[in-house]
Amino acid sequence: MAEKRKRCSLSISEKQQIIKYVNENPVMKRIDIVKKFEIPISTLATILKSKERFSEETGLPLPSLKTLNKFVRKISCLAYGFQPSTFNCLKERCQSIKDSERRGVLLVDEINLYENVTFDSLSMKYNGFVDLAKHTPHEEKNMPADHTLVFMVVTFRGRWAQALGCFLSRNACTSVLLRKLMSMKILLYQ
Mean pLDDT over 3-8 rounds to 57
Mean pLDDT over 119-132 rounds to 80
For the cut 80, the answer to whether the pLDDT of residue 149 exceeds it is yes
For the cut 80, the answer to whether the pLDDT of residue 76 exceeds it is no
Furthest-apart CA pair in the chain: how many Å?
84
Residue 53 DSSP class: G
Q: How does residue 129 score in pLDDT terms, banded at 50, 70 and 90?
A: confident
Q: Which of 23-32, 120-129, 159-168 has the lowest mean pLDDT?
A: 120-129
Q: Is 151 helix (H, G, I), strand (E, B) or coil?
A: strand
Predicted model pTM? 0.54
Calculate the average pLDDT of the chain: 79
Neighbours of 131 (CB within 10 A): 20
pLDDT greater at residue 129 or residue 53: 129
Q: What is the pLDDT of residue 169?
A: 87
How far is the C-alpha of 79 from the C-alpha of 89, rounded, in Å?
Answer: 16
Question: What are the counts of helices (DSSP H) followed by strands (DSSP E) for the chain?
Answer: 7, 6
Mean pLDDT over 99-126 rounds to 83
pLDDT greater at residue 161 or residue 65: 161
State percent of the chain over pLDDT 70: 84
Q: What is the pLDDT of residue 1?
A: 45
For the cut 80, the answer to whether the pLDDT of residue 69 exceeds it is no
